[in-house]
Amino acid sequence: MILSLMVFLPIVAALAAYPITRKSEKAGNVLIIGVTLAVFAMALSLLAGSLSGAQIPGFCGSGLNFSCGSMQTVMALIAAFMWLMTALASPEYFDHARCNARYYMFYLWTLGALMGVFLAADLMTLFIFFEIMSFTSYVWVVQNETPEAIKASETYLFVAVIGGLTMLMGIFLLYASCGTLSFHELPELAAKMSDSRKLVIGICILVGFGAKAGMFPLHIWLPKAHPVAPAPASALLSGILTKSGIFGVVVLSFHVLDSFGHTWGNLLLVPAVITMVLGAVLAVFSTDLKRTLACSSMSQIGFILTGIAMACLLGEHGGIAAYGTMLHMLNHSLIKLTLFVAAGVVYFNVHSLNLNDVRGFGRDKPLLMVTFLMGACSIAGIPGFSGYISKTLIHESIVEYIHELAHHGANVLPYQVAEWLFLFSGGLTFAYMARLFYIIFIAKKPHHQHQKEGRYMGSLTALVLIVGGALMPILGLTAHSTMDKIAEFAVHFFHRHAMDHAVHYFAWINLKGAVISITVGIAVFALVGMMWLTKRKDGEEEYINVWPQKLDLDDYAYRPALKGLAFIGAVAARCVETLAAILVMGPVNLIFTGAEKEVIPPEDEEFSKYDTTSERSLVQRSFNYDLLCAMLGVAALMIFVIINL
């Protein structure tokens, strides 16, 4: 009951949110805060009770099935928390904005859909809500209705839809092979499938979830869509919506393909590492505050996917990787909440996100500075902050796998490279966060910087920043009693054993990775960030964009490919169609001879135009005559039938 309520309360409330917000924005604000608070309370209550699950039989044919516990509860709780926080920050951000009634409606809708995704007990339910979520969050991206927003949302929609339907194909094959989609029964039945079938199913479903998560090469929408959305929506898109994709990958990897772990782990590791490095590189070169954060999200998703891949490779003993994955998901959500809300504060003061315009904005704003610093330190993996813990766990899992392989005398080089790239990406994370921090809080202000009058942020926004920022050192310093417990609770969903011994996070062996990363980071920050990407002129700094604009997979590969495919399809169809027309109309032209010009009206704007052709006719042509002939034919046939009986 409570599970269904968590899903459907926001969906129903969304319908009310539109008219209410149209009438009074205050009432709308109260409504969304109230609803998100209620959902958060219900999510908390999941921790206490042992609910068995909920069913709504018959809905959409196969019925909806919900369950909770383990990772599902944790994810639902994180989502509810994120929504509550952004609901608190929204009233200020959307003050005087247009169309916020629309935004609020889709905001609540997406919450319901996301709850459906996290609380689903079978793949079908998950898919249904996943699709709904794609469409409702589309409106977030397009909310500002600027040309960039429209283009980005287009890309988002296409990627989401194509991914979603490829996934449907996979689900479909899975259903055809196993006869069930329930998480409970899948592991056992799916293990019986042949390896090639597992591979096909795995790739199909991975395309769908990977597209939402922002995995290479389906990441194209992410760096475009996240920056153009309103800041609270960006926080949710980056912080939690991408996690729905990750959640799907977890389901796929540990519930469907667990018996296929070795191959699957290797297969997943490649895009994971590429995503991790590419995202970080893009973030270093970005000159837009939110774009940097979005690219950073992509990179962190790569870290998480690496964790999943390692958990697959390590098999039953992958507990450490599963811990790391779960905790990095949690951390990344909280970090991105803080950072995007901070970016929102910058935006509604300065009305720009370009680093050249916002530089020095935070010089005299200690609260913003401290909370931003918390987020930055955490994501950069500074020891003592939450991000360090999860990154260390994932790093340890790679090291462990290398040891295991070395023990068996196998080739460890690919994994060694993966480890180096992991540390290198960690270094880049440090570099781009340090650069952002330097530009916003240390660099000198330009004279013309726009500044909102009055206080630079409201108390609710400040509260969100403080809560978000404070969580990071708290979690990071009390890792054994907080984060380990959360991971232990969630690891059951990964079908991995809990770790039997606690990791000594502050032992030198574990700190070493962080030290290497930070050293790399300082070097990159100094050499690339401060020297290459910064121009100094008359004491003024300018941050230049050296990333080639044209290097965009979307414009260069996907859009032309899509257009080309549609064109080829149409041309092919047209050719065969002409043949068919000859087949049907040809005999007519044979029978009727004699010249008469006739206008052939166009039937297809793309391929034909008005023209005249000479048609031959046997007798003076009239439609009635044609009809008469046709009817005579029918009559003759009828007589033939009757005589033959």
Binding piece for another protein, criterion CB under 8 A, among 130-138, 207-215, 361-369, 549-557: 130-138
Is 322 in contact with 489 (CB distance < 8 Å)?
no
Q: Considering only CA atoms, which of 206, 328, 322, 226 is closest in space to residue 282?
A: 226
Classify the C-alpha dihedral 592-595-599-600 as positive or negative: positive
Binding piece for another protein, criterion CB under 8 A, among 23-31, 123-131, 295-303, 520-528: 123-131
Closer Cβ to another protein, 45 or 578, answer by number: 578
E strand or H helix at 644, and its extent? helix 623-644
Under rule CB under 8 A, residue 581 binds another protein: yes
Is 168 in contact with 572 (CB distance < 8 Å)?
no
Closer Cβ to another protein, 102 or 492, answer by number: 102
Is 380 in contact with 387 (CB distance < 8 Å)?
yes
Q: Which of residues 63-102 bind another protein (CB under 8 A)?
A: 63
Closer Cβ to another protein, 21 or 134, answer by number: 134
Under rule CB under 8 A, residue 57 binds another protein: yes
Smallest distance, Å, CB 210 to another protein?
A: 17
Out of 30, 41, 47, 176, point to the residue binding another protein (CB under 8 A).
Answer: 176
By CB neighbour count within 10 A (0-12 exposed, 13-18 middle, 19+ buried), where does 449 fall? middle
Smallest distance, Å, CB 150 to another protein?
A: 6
Binding piece for another protein, criterion CB under 8 A, among 231-239, 303-311, 495-503, 633-641: 633-641
Q: How many residues does the chain have?
A: 645
Is 140 in contact with 106 (CB distance < 8 Å)?
yes
Binding piece for another protein, criterion CB under 8 A, among 266-274, 309-317, 497-505, 634-642: 634-642
Out of 404, 458, 570, 615, point to the residue binding another protein (CB under 8 A).
Answer: 570
Under rule CB under 8 A, residue 169 binds another protein: yes
Give the chain's radius of gyration (CA, Å). Answer: 29
**CA–CA dist 140, 118 (Å, integer):** 20
Closer Cβ to another protein, 125 or 425, answer by number: 125
Closer Cβ to another protein, 158 or 438, answer by number: 158
Closer Cβ to another protein, 316 or 626, answer by number: 626
Smallest distance, Å, CB 60 to another protein?
A: 5
Q: What angle do CA 482, 488, 494 make, to 5 degrees?
A: 140
Q: Which of residues 146-165 bind another protein (CB under 8 A)?
A: 146-147, 150, 153-154, 157-158, 161-162, 165
Site string for another protein, 586-615 (x = CB under 8 A): --x----------xxx-xxxx---------
Under rule CB under 8 A, residue 643 binds another protein: no
Binding piece for another protein, criterion CB under 8 A, among 1-9, 375-383, 485-493, 624-632: 624-632
Smallest distance, Å, CB 222 to another protein?
A: 20
The identity of residue 323, as a single letter, is: Y
Smallest distance, Å, CB 622 to another protein?
A: 11
Is 256 in contact with 178 (CB distance < 8 Å)?
no
Closer Cβ to another protein, 507 or 584, answer by number: 584
Place of tokens 């859909």: 113
User: Per the structure block, which two tokens stand in for 628?
Assistant: 């008469």
Closer Cβ to another protein, 27 or 628, answer by number: 628
Closer Cβ to another protein, 49 or 58, answer by number: 58
Closer Cβ to another protein, 413 or 579, answer by number: 579
**CA–CA dist 489, 70 (Å, integer):** 5
Closer Cβ to another protein, 49 or 61, answer by number: 61
Q: Considering only CA atoms, which of 428, 468, 497 is closest in space to residue 278?
A: 428
Three-state secondary structure readout of 536-574:
EECCEEEECCCCCCCCCHHHHHHHHHHHHHHHHHHHHHH
Closer Cβ to another protein, 410 or 573, answer by number: 573
Out of 194, 196, 597, 623, point to the residue binding another protein (CB under 8 A).
Answer: 623
**CA–CA dist 97, 348 (Å, integer):** 11
Smallest distance, Å, CB 62 to another protein?
A: 8
Smallest distance, Å, CB 576 to another protein?
A: 6
Half-sphere exposure for 43 (CA within 13 Å, toward CB): 29
The identity of residue 494, as a single letter, is: F
Under rule CB under 8 A, residue 58 binds another protein: yes
**CA–CA dist 361, 640 (Å, integer):** 92
Under rule CB under 8 A, residue 145 binds another protein: yes
Binding piece for another protein, criterion CB under 8 A, among 224-232, 285-293, 331-339, 629-637: 629-637
Site size with another protein, rule: CB under 8 A: 62
Smallest distance, Å, CB 367 to another protein?
A: 37
Q: Which residues contact 128 (CB under 8 A, 6 or more apart)?
A: 60, 64, 116
Under rule CB under 8 A, residue 626 binds another protein: yes
**CA–CA dist 325, 251 (Å, integer):** 13
Smallest distance, Å, CB 560 to another protein?
A: 15
Largest CA distance in the chain: 105
DSSP letter for each residue of 66-119: E--SHHHHHHHHHHHHHHHHHHHHHHHHTTT-SSHHHHHHHHHHHHHHHHHHHH
User: Per the structure block, which two tokens stand in for 26?
Assistant: 């205050």
By CB neighbour count within 10 A (0-12 exposed, 13-18 middle, 19+ buried), where does 75 fall? buried
Is 318 in contact with 228 (CB distance < 8 Å)?
no
Closer Cβ to another protein, 504 or 563, answer by number: 563
3-state secondary structure (DSSP) of residue 613:
strand
φ, ψ of residue 614 to 5 degrees: the values are -90, 130
E strand or H helix at 55, and its extent? strand 54-56
Site string for another protein, 548-567 (x = CB under 8 A): ------------------x-
Closer Cβ to another protein, 551 or 643, answer by number: 643
Out of 27, 60, 553, 557, point to the residue binding another protein (CB under 8 A).
Answer: 60
Closer Cβ to another protein, 551 or 599, answer by number: 599
User: Per the structure block, which two tokens stand in for 233?
Assistant: 């929506």
Under rule CB under 8 A, residue 619 binds another protein: no
Smallest distance, Å, CB 399 to another protein?
A: 41
3-state secondary structure (DSSP) of residue 526:
helix
Interface with another protein (CB under 8 A): 57-63, 127-128, 131-132, 135, 142, 145-147, 150, 153-154, 157-158, 161-162, 165-166, 168-169, 172-173, 175-176, 566, 569-570, 573, 576-577, 579-581, 583-585, 588, 599-601, 603-606, 623, 626-627, 630, 633-634, 637, 641-642, 644-645
